[in-house]
């Protein structure tokens, strides 16, 4: 029987849309962070059942498959195991290409989900791991539950081709300012690996604690790993008192280090250790005072007391000598011992040697340093750091390692094969790249996740503010720079004000969700509004997983300025489709208060501005309260 014309016409139109790829299903929202290179969805979903098989075709895929099985078992209460064999119906399978696919590189993957199951293919195991992470993000939110949940476990029909924009996608974690246990470090690595980060920069030594066992130099952990206990704001705490016991701290044994390295490797994460020299070495000097110019036997590991005066523009004076002596051959013998043991532990090619914020005042006053400058025909004391770093690079080369340092290593002459981390903005990275050095872009205005996330009245105050959208807008390749020298980038988490893992997570997420798209996703695929939708889904997932995070992105931004002698305030919401309500009449803003539309002129007098953001008539941000006096201060 012939179909009515209208039905036939509608059916033909649908087929035409399908054939042309125009069906909106291809634009169906998904929650994969970071955004994949190519993703298309179609109608339908694969049901994961207790009978579903997890398959591997090569033994190398087993670790990833077992990680998936463990996550599924916890959330479903079922008992998945991993088997070896070709893909079959009702299976989730992992396989490596016999002939590598150039497009995928080392870390890319293909994921295809249809009625027969889910199939992940890749050139190397890193790609399989990332394909597995995308499967987890496509599963219902309850996959993050730590107890069994009864529900339909579905994965939408999808095709994904995905690979990273940058090879270096990292997070730096400072364990010197506050010590974090081995298990806390492993958890931090596990959570970052979900976002396809592949580099964990482990800041192991600084003025406030030496955290890695060096067997040939036992005092580094016997003395250098411990400081007197203090609670409160760093740089404002009391200095150690004579006879006071140093009981706060800890360190990682070499067996701990090996365990963490293996844990990270299973999650495609490389660990880059940092031994910060020649400055930031007070913990080492407390253990071995003869390493400094001052040779002060009373040097203590700093507990967060003030030991420097900062003058702005990077200028400062150290009140206590925390710098290794570049003119003393015993310093290089010490470093040779340290790097021998560090190099033997860490399989990656890099060792980070710091090089930042090195005060040279004690060098200027030291006769041996001055004699070395004269011998080497140095005109400026900064050249001593260049000399020191070149000596360190030679030591590292004998261990088969490459030198990596903060951008201060450009001063006084950079070591010939050094890789530079550009942290004081992007300028150091530009200079290094133009000199032909590889660069990791990590500029503080965009990626220092120890900075405040919202208004300073709502967050514990620290040096600066870094909002979520500014992270998302970061572009690692500066204009006019050859991208081949930019390895990638990373976020840096300094822990002066971060004493617990929960707070470390609060400072890291969602800013590192945003940065994961900066480092992984194609530049043209980034979309702020789409990211926000995914982020809100990940809030729910993090709640179930017990991962802490900040909701500071919902808070309004307040920008006061003076115009024609009048105080004016602009308000801004970085999350789309929020309404900003405010008051200047000493009432608490509600949905009945004025809605911000245009800049507000603040009258003279004892005025207080109160601001909050709303969605659908309900408050979603935190109320910000600022006096007129404070607004005037901020306008300058």
Q: What is the pLDDT of residues 611-630, one digit of tens each?
A: 999 999 999 999 999 999 99
As a whole number, mean pLDDT of residues 159-177 equals 98
The three-point CA angle 217-219-225 to 5° equals 115
Per-residue pLDDT at 392: 97
Please count the other Cβ atoms lying within 10 Å of the Cβ belonging to residue 147. 9
- 631-to-14, 254, 568, 579, 606 alpha-carbon distances in Å: 58, 52, 9, 22, 12
Q: What is the pLDDT of residues 67-79, one digit of tens each?
A: 999 999 999 999 9
As a whole number, mean pLDDT of residues 508-512 equals 98
Q: 382-398 and 329-345 helices cross at what angle (nearest 10)?
A: 40
Q: 501-508 and 511-520 helices cross at what angle (nearest 10)?
A: 50
HEC string of 561-629 equals EEECCEEEEEEECCCCCCEEEEECCCCCCCCCCCECCCCEEECCCCCEEEEEEEECCEECCCCEEEEHH
Per-residue pLDDT at 20: 36
Per-residue pLDDT at 239: 96
Pairwise CA distance, residues 425 & 423, whole Å: 5
Q: Tell me if 544 sits within 8 A of 569, measured CB to CB.
A: no
Answer yes or no: is pLDDT of 21 > 50.
no
Partners of residue 467 on adjacent β-strands:
none
Pairwise CA distance, residues 252 & 257, whole Å: 6
Provide the whole-model pTM.
0.94
Q: What is the pLDDT of residues 242-292, one digit of tens each?
A: 999 999 999 999 999 999 999 999 999 999 999 999 999 999 999 999 999
- Is 207 catalytic? The answer is no
As a whole number, mean pLDDT of residues 103-108 equals 98
Q: 367-375 and 382-398 helices cross at what angle (nearest 10)?
A: 80
Confidence of residue 1 (pLDDT cuts 50, 70, 90): very low
Q: 511-520 and 528-545 helices cross at what angle (nearest 10)?
A: 130
Euclidean distance between the first and final Cα of the chain, in Å? Answer: 81
As a whole number, mean pLDDT of residues 556-563 equals 97
The three-point CA angle 37-39-44 to 5° equals 165
Per-residue pLDDT at 25: 39
Tokens of 499: 């004493």
Answer yes or no: is pLDDT of 13 > 50.
no
Tokens of 240: 């150690």
268 backbone dihedrals φ, ψ, rounded to 5°: 60, 35
As a 3-state breakdown, the chain gives helix, strand, coil percent values, each rounded to 5, of: 35, 25, 40
- Is 280 catalytic? The answer is yes
Residue with tokens 């309850």: 142
Strands 153-162 and 117-122: unpaired
- All structural domains of the chain, each given as residue ranges with its CATH number in brackets, are 25-162 (3.30.379.10), 168-527 (3.20.20.80), 555-635 (2.60.40)
Which of 248, 357, 366, 407 is the catalytic position?
A: 357
Pairwise CA distance, residues 230 & 42, whole Å: 57
Which of 107, 144, 206, 450 is the catalytic position?
A: 206
- Is 276 catalytic? The answer is no
Q: Tell me if 350 sits within 8 A of 402, measured CB to CB.
A: yes
Confidence of residue 603 (pLDDT cuts 50, 70, 90): very high
Enumerate residues 6+ apart whose C-beta is below 8 A from 101: 108, 110, 123
The fraction of the chain above a pLDDT of 70, given in percent, is 96
Q: What is the pLDDT of residues 296-317, one digit of tens each?
A: 999 999 999 999 998 887 789 9
As a whole number, mean pLDDT of residues 343-364 equals 97
Which of 280, 437, 538, 581 is the catalytic position?
A: 280
Instruction: Report the mean per-residue pLDDT for the chain.
Output: 94
Nearest CA to 129 among 55, 54, 35, 66? 66
Bond prior to 278 in cis (omega within 30° of 0): yes
As a whole number, mean pLDDT of residues 436-462 equals 97
Tokens of 613: 């953001």
CA–chain centroid gap for 620, Å, is 26
Answer yes or no: is pLDDT of 10 > 80.
no
- 443-to-206, 447, 448 alpha-carbon distances in Å: 20, 6, 7
Q: What is the pLDDT of residues 391-421, one digit of tens each?
A: 999 999 999 999 999 999 998 888 889 999 9
């Amino acid at each position: 029987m012939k179909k009515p014309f209208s039905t036939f016409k509608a059916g033909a139109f649908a087929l035409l849309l399908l054939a042309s790829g125009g069906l909106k299903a291809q634009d169906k929202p998904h929650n994969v962070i970071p955004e994949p290179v190519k993703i298309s969805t179609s109608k339908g979903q694969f049901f994961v059942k207790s009978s579903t098989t997890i398959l591997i075709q090569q033994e190398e895929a087993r670790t990833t498959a077992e990680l998936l099985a463990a996550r599924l078992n916890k959330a479903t209460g079922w008992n998945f195991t991993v088997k070896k064999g070709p893909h079959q119906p009702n299976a989730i399978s992992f396989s490596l290409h016999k002939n590598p696919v150039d497009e995928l590189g080392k870390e890319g993957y293909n994921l295809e989900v249809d009625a027969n199951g889910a199939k992940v293919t890749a050139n190397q195991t890193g790609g399989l791991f990332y394909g597995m992470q995308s499967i987890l993000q496509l599963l219902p939110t309850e996959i993050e539950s730590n107890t069994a949940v009864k529900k339909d476990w579905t994965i939408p029909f999808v095709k994904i081709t995905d690979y990273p924009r940058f090879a270096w996608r990292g997070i730096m974690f400072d364990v010197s300012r506050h010590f974090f246990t081995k298990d806390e470090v492993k958890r931090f690595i596990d959570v970052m690996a979900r976002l396809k980060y592949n580099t964990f920069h482990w800041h192991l030594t600084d003025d406030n604690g030496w955290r890695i066992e060096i067997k040939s130099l036992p005092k580094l952990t016997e003395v250098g790993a411990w400081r007197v206990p203090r609670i409160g704001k760093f740089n404002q705490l009391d200095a150690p008192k004579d006879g006071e016991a140093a009981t706060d701290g800890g360190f990682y044994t070499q067996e701990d280090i090996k365990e963490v390295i293996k844990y990270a490797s299973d999650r495609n994460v490389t660990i880059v250790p940092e031994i910060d020299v020649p400055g930031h070495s007070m913990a080492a000097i407390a253990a071995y005072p003869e390493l400094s110019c001052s040779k002060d036997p009373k040097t203590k590991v700093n507990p967060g007391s003030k030991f420097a005066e900062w003058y702005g523009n990077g200028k400062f004076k150290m009140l206590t000598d925390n710098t290794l002596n570049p003119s003393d051959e015993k310093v290089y013998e010490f470093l040779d011992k340290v790097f021998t043991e560090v190099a033997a532990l860490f399989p990656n090619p890099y060792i980070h040697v710091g090089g930042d914020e090195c005060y040279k005042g004690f060098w200027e006053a030291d006769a041996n340093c001055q004699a070395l400058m004269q011998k080497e025909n140095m005109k400026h004391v900064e050249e001593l750091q260049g000399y020191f770093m070149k000596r360190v690079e030679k030591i590292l080369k004998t261990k088969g390692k490459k030198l990596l340092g903060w951008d201060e290593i450009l001063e006084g002459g950079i070591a010939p094969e050094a890789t530079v981390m550009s942290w004081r903005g992007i300028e150091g990275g530009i200079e290094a790249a133009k000199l032909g050095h590889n660069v990791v872009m990590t500029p503080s205005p965009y990626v220092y996740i120890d900075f405040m996330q919202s208004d300073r009245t709502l967050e514990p105050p620290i040096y600066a503010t870094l909002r979520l959208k500014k992270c998302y807008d970061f572009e690692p390749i500066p204009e006019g720079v050859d991208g081949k020298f930019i390895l990638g980038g990373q976020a840096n988490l300094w822990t002066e004000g971060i004493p617990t893992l929960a707070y470390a997570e609060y400072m890291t997420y969602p800013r590192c969700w945003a940065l994961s798209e900066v480092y992984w996703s194609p530049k043209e695929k980034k979309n702020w509004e789409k990211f926000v939708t995914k982020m809100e889904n990940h809030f729910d997932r993090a709640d179930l997983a017990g991962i802490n995070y900040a909701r500071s992105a919902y808070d309004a931004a307040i920008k006061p300025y003076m115009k024609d002698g009048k105080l004016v305030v602009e308000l801004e919401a970085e999350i789309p489709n929020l309404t900003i309500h405010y008051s200047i009449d000493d009432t608490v803003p509600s949905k009945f208060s004025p809605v911000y539309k245009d800049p507000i002129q603040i009258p003279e007098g004892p005025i207080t501005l109160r601001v909050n953001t709303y969605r659908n008539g309900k408050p979603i941000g935190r109320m910000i309260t600022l006096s007129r006096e404070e607004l005037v201060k901020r306008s300058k």
